[in-house]
Amino acid sequence: MSNTNENTQTKNRPTHVVKSRVGYGENVRFERLGVAFTRPTEGLYVKLTGKQVISGGFYLFPIEEKSEGQDAGAAQ
């Protein structure tokens, strides 16, 4: 029997958050669009959520590892 489920949950975690910039100037904010995973060979796999239309591109922000003392529910 394989450990596919275990490997998916523990080793294949997203490495980046995909976000789109909304607004301009002081009203700029970033809307979360999905996540990205590093591939074993090269490149990234981007998994978008929802059915949004993306115009103008998107940004990839690395997910920072959290230490045990940090709040796990903090927004990224």
23 phi and psi angles, rounded to 5 deg: 90, 180
Domain boundaries defined on the chain = 12-62
Q: Percent of the chain beyond pLDDT 90?
A: 45
* CA-closest candidate to residue 13, choices 31, 29, 35, 28: 35
Place of tokens 């100037």: 25
What is the per-residue pLDDT across 3-38, written as a single tens digit (0 to 9) for each? 444 444 446 899 999 999 999 999 999 999 999 999
The Cα–Cα gap between 36 and 43 comes to 10
